[in-house]
Amino acid sequence: MEVLTFKRGIHPPHGKHLTEKKAIEDLQPKEILVFPMSQHIGAPAECLVKKGDKVLVGQKIGQASGFISANIHSSVSGTVKDVKPVLTAGGTKSLSVIVENDGQYEEVEFTKPKDYHDMSKEEIATIIKEAGVVGMGGACFPTNVKLIPPPDKKIDYIIINAAECEPYLTCDHRLMLEEANKVVEGLKVVLHMHPQAKAYIGIEDNKKDAIDVMAKAVKDIPNAEVKALQTKYPQGAEKQLIYATTKREVPSGKLPADAGCIVQNVTTLHEIYQAVVLGRPSTTRIVTITGEAVKEPKNLRVRNGMSFKELIEACDGFKEDPIKVISGGPMMGMTISSLDVPVIKGSSGILCLTSKQAVLPEESSCIRCGKCVQACPMFLIPSALDSLGRRKELDGFEESNGLDCIECGSCTFVCPAKRHLLQSIRTAKRTVLANKRKK
């Protein structure tokens, strides 16, 4: 099988050996769960419950409040103890429903949808929206919106992101090995919505067992095949994945649909299966708890709303105090200051690093070596964008295509001067976009 890739990129240490052989374990929550109304890109959901209300598993407690928004469902049965802003792993506070778990897990009456083969793509998208399905790779874009692009966009390829290029994380890998049939059923739903499209499942070649399992699982689907990808970061970024599998390029400022592609994470397919075939909303996810500071790294299937602290305790805690804890992976994850934050739909991992892994050197002046340029998969000049951002020259930042940055962190990783390139570029991006919204 030919091994495909994109241009540029980097090769950070994998760190996957800690959990890649660890089967998924189910973990039940303790007494208190927290459900932020912002678990997705777009407008926060509108809270539907109040203090004192009883809730059931699968009950909608947050209503999508706009075109780009997503429903939120309770993952347990119990009593609403409060509705208030709560700190999230992203470092901001979000209005949240706090539920006291009664331990009964009494469910709403789920209605199994009719056979999706008898449904239009609009009907399927409505079910996916109602189930609150979002991109589970971390971006958390509402899936129903992505699956129905504007009518003038002809979709030729459905690209399944199974690369899991982020170091340390193995939740997608384990899902493919253990529940390939459910993933493929989700893919069949998407292909029913876009019958003229060809499906490519992109998997990095450091997961040869997953390549074999998924190739076998799709062997009877004529318009689907597995593509082996070179193990390189950020192989799983949308534009890089599209180029690697189709050699198409997404124009600057455009979306994958403009290149005739829809990209879905492999775990998102599992959620599509749950919603469209079983009629169940998105209430659980698999999280990789890993890092050299953790006593017993694991892949845990948990209920949304559980605290990070519970997951760490399920791994027997720390063998030494971590110098840094990251929500997600080391390249694109966010450092957190407290373990008292809830698992949300995009919580792919909790990475706990010791002082040996998380070196915190001070910045020095740029030495004009060009390594950041050589690494950037978007063909930008990160050192220049960094300089423009720090000087708050936002017009120049935008003219230099700073908004095209995918925030992968490759530039920071290779910088010998240890410049905080990603941080300054990210800040400038946020400011430019905020200014645009004000106009």
Which class is 3-20+112-276 in CATH?
Answer: alpha beta
Alpha helices by DSSP H, 99-227? 121-130, 143-147, 171-193, 208-217
State phi, psi for 52 to the nearest 5 degrees.
Answer: 95, -15
The CB density around residue 14, as the number of other CB atoms within 10 Å, is 18
315 marked among binding-site residues: no
Q: Tell whether 405 is in a known binding site.
A: yes
pLDDT tens-digit profile, the chain (439 residues): 789 999 999 999 999 999 999 999 999 999 999 999 999 999 999 999 999 999 999 999 999 998 999 999 999 999 999 999 999 998 899 999 999 999 999 999 998 899 999 999 999 999 999 999 999 987 899 999 999 999 999 999 999 999 999 999 999 999 999 999 999 999 999 999 999 999 999 999 999 999 999 999 999 999 999 999 999 999 999 999 999 999 999 999 899 999 999 999 999 999 999 999 999 999 999 999 999 999 999 999 999 999 999 999 999 999 999 999 999 999 999 999 999 999 999 999 999 999 888 877 789 999 999 999 999 999 999 999 999 999 999 999 999 999 999 999 999 999 999 999 999 999 999 999 999 888 7
Separation between Cα atoms, residue 13 and residue 294, nearest integer Å:
18
Annotated binding-site residue? 165? no
Paired strand residues for 60: 73
Q: What are phi and psi of 226, to 5 degrees?
A: -90, 140
140 is in an annotated binding site: no
In this prediction the pTM is: 0.95
Domain boundaries of the chain, sorted by first residue: 3-20+112-276, 371-438
